[in-house]
Chains A and B, each alone.
Chain A
Amino acid sequence: MAATLKNAGHRVIGCFPPYPPLELLHSMGCVPVVLWNLRNEIEGTADSDRHLQTFTCSVGRHLTQFLLGSDAPQFDGLLMTNACDTLRNLPEIITGEFQQRGRELPFFKLHIPAIPPAQTHGRDYLEYRIQALIDELETAFGQAFSGEAFRASTALYQRAREELRTLEGAVADGSIPFAAFHRLSCTMFNRPIEVFLQDLKIFRETRIDHADSGKPRTNGLPVVMLSGIIPPPDTLIEAIETAGLRIAGNDLGPLFRSYQHSPSPGEDPVAYYRDFYGNHTPCSTLLYTSDRRIGMLEDLADRRRVQGVIFIGEKYCECETFEFPFLENRLKHRGFQVLQLECAIDDRDHVDAFKTRIEVFAEILTSQGETAWHHTSNQNPGNG
């Protein structure tokens, strides 16, 4: 997709996950492409393996492979935010390899203060970093920042996030399957936002507006929620749904964590990103949000009336792995069933090992269904 964009004349910026300042890049004439969830985009990791040990997570290895692979798309620049100990080591590996190949690429870096917004000075520091980033972008591309353009960009992203939240409500009440919603949501990160909004419109018209009257189709299936930094492979989602589980909610990086909070459109990028990052949906990589995560999960699980939570662990993702035991204990204490699956780099093709565990989990939830403490299959869970 990135190569296609480039060939179509767009200025394409490859962004490290998870939460780059998409609106700012867009307002300055760039198409941001977020480099995660790349399982389906690459075959093998031969180029990455020359640089990264096998104990590096698949996010880092896939990202590196995507950029260094022989048919790597031509980006106009790369951007990273501080996310984790692995990703922070990659910029120089990638630019070093590019230099060997005779390519120079601007690499923008944004340090998001990793302290609670209430703690003094983080706000001022973010202002300094945002302004520095704007200066660098202006210098690199010769395009001046415009508050008006920024407002327009933020409005587009706000609309996209609003629509995703609405669609998630349709997933929650069973009107559309999670797999379809997931596939659509992830495309937000690899195409122009204007195109994505068109896709959303088409999806809504074909999958909801003309669906059988919007009537909830809960069908009495056990209801679960997914949580993890990246979505599981499509084959695993399929395995979950095939096992008779209905995915009604999610706490996944590119999905809920990305669309749940959207600041009001505005012309001031500093004010916007103070809100965007300061009030961001909790994520294990945004260190200052960790205390809010369990409350958010419990609230979401209650609103979606789920019986079980499936944690999708990313092998070697320490940010997520550190949080699982606490989250699991708390959720179990609240009466939710919990299943933890850990996906490694080659698990796109090897989901059989998970199937039995998923099936057993489904059986537990089914047998529990009739006497579930608060779940009734006829209730409309709402869109909250």
Chain B
Amino acid sequence: MASYVKSESGKRLTELMAGCYLGNHQRAQQGAFVVWIAIGVPAEIFLGFENVVYAVPESHAAMTAARGLGPAQCEKAERAGYSMDLCSYARIDLGTAFDNGKDSPVGGLPKPDLLISNNNNCSLLVKWFDVLHREWKTPHFTLDIPFCYEVQSPQDKSYILAQFHDLIRTIEGMSGQRFDIDRVAEATRCSSEATRHWKRFLACAESRPSGITAFDSFVQMAPILTMRGTAAYAEHFRLLADETEERMATGLFPVADERYRLFWDNIAPWHQLRRMQKSLAERQANIIAASYTFCIGGLEGTYDPWYFEGGDPLAYLARTQNFSICPHGMTLRRAAMTGALETLGIDWVIFASNRSCKPYSVMQMDQQRFISETCGVSTVMIDIDHADSRSYSEKNAQLRIDALLENIEARR
């Protein structure tokens, strides 16, 4: 296996994220209006205000889990009565919040002035933010984004857009700040530019061997959640894509002796990233792509990007409210995944059945059958919990993946 060193983009990401979390704390202390948002809420809107800081509990929970701190924070929520059956992101966030940020890698998040959730990724986000709303008596604004069994309808788009205007009026009223649509247009351009480079980075998976692993994309997606709309965000992804392409040109590949190209379906197993990547690489296997990261920037039924080409940025943001997997019905998910499997030359799909994420997982058994029977790609299902390692059996997952690799080899 070729030597593989940590990329400059990896180092830069660490600095960016530390700066982002620290910056949020500092700005909050200096009087910025703080909102907590679900990942689907269009952060570009907040850049339309002079001094609004947005924090993303889901991203913080993922980072906490990746640092191995998930169970400790989950247990705090469980002690407060929140069931272990609830999403581990939610438990990590509630545990962190109830303990005022103690044991968080970044001291938690600055306390919010407004909570903003939406229900298309999952409706439990609304319930989760409701807990904080009641605990802290913080106002909670919900964006109602209709679930998509088909491509978004014009009526749905208008409904979403109207809610954006409500949200803007709410923030104006609470913060006393004026909203500037031109600033949002600029933020949306930055995000669109970032998406362009993000897709260029992901396209590195098309080569043989792949220039990236899905684990790289899991780690690198953090700014999409926490820095959206900023120039630094677009620049980071430009450098990331450039660097990845340069490394490939010089023969640097994460699994240079790659024999097996795998696809991952579900949220990242944050507590297992390094172990799983290393273990697979030792078997000449690479999970080169994941629906979780490939969907970003796309529309319903495709992973292809949908760029901002000018016009009303809010209308663009309303149209792209279904950019992730969970708001899509099975037909749309199939269409997107089928296209990606072909483009990427996938040998096998790992369906990660995630007890912590029912929106993603409930329908995977049917998806698995469909992909096996229709695409001619073999599949395996393993059990995971994206952020609570107590609900994950490494041995069981390993056993199934080993069987999978043996099966691929036997077929060759």
Contact = CB atoms under 8 A, between A and B. Distances in A.
Contact of B159 (A50, A92, A125): A125
Interface stretch (B25-33, B75-83, B280-288): B75-83
Interface stretch (B51-59, B121-129, B299-307): B121-129
B362 interface: yes
A380 interface: no
Given A92-B330, A96-B330, A125-B159, A322 B362 contact: no
Contacts of A318: 85-87, 124, 127, 358
A325 B142 CA distance: 21
Interface residues of B, number: 44
Interface string B143-181: 110110100000100010011001000000000000000
A120 B166 contact: yes
Interface in A278-328: 284, 287-288, 290-291, 313, 315-316, 318-319, 321-326, 328
Interface in B112-142: 119, 122-124, 126-128, 130-131, 134-135, 142
A84 B365 contact: no
Contact of A91 (B80, B142, B149, B361): B149
B162 A52 contact: no
Interface residue tally of chain A, by bracket? 35 or more
A111 B156 CA distance: 10
A121 B358 contact: no
B329 interface: yes
B331 interface: yes
A53 interface: yes
Interface in A193-248: none
A72 B242 CA distance: 57
A199 B137 CA distance: 46
A85 B128 CA distance: 13
B397 to A, nearest CB: 15
B47 to A, nearest CB: 23
A371 interface: no
- Chain A to chain B: the 6 pairs with minimum beta-carbon distance, closest first: A325-B81, A322-B127, A121-B162, A92-B330, A85-B359, A114-B144
Interface of A: 50-53, 55-56, 60, 82, 84-86, 88-93, 96, 109, 111, 113-115, 119-122, 124-125, 128, 284, 287-288, 290-291, 313, 315-316, 318-319, 321-326, 328-329, 342
Interface of B: 80-83, 85-87, 90, 119, 122-124, 126-128, 130-131, 134-135, 142-144, 146-147, 149, 155, 159, 162-163, 166, 326, 329-331, 353, 355, 358-359, 361-366
16 contacts: A82-B146, A84-B123, A88-B359, A89-B358, A111-B147, A113-B159, A114-B119, A114-B126, A114-B144, A115-B163, A119-B166, A284-B127, A321-B82, A325-B80, A325-B131, A328-B81
